[in-house]
Amino acid sequence: MTKKISKDSFEEKLKRLEEISGLLEADNIGLEDAINLYEEGIELSKDCVTALKNAELKITQLKKKLDQLTTDEEDFLEDER
């Protein structure tokens, strides 16, 4: 019943987390399967949190670059006056 996911996309991992949640809520699986699904869910959750943190860091870096470009352009325009 356990489905191994390693290098799938964020969206695929999130979809699998939703599947796991549904399976665990269904109440028709055995204890061992439930534990395995829960363990898989924890790993997927960690992967998703890491991906979100990396995305946030990348956006912050891009914003800083954009801010610097804007500042440099403003400085250039002031120097031209």
What is the pLDDT at residue 70?
82
Query: What is the structure's pLDDT at 6?
Result: 53
Residue 40 half-sphere exposure toward CB, CA atoms < 13 A: 23
Any idea how long the chain is? 81
Tens-binned pLDDT, residue by residue, of the chain (81 aa):
555 545 789 999 999 999 999 999 998 999 999 999 999 999 999 999 999 999 999 999 999 999 888 887 777 667 766
pLDDT of residue 8: 85
pTM for this entry = 0.72
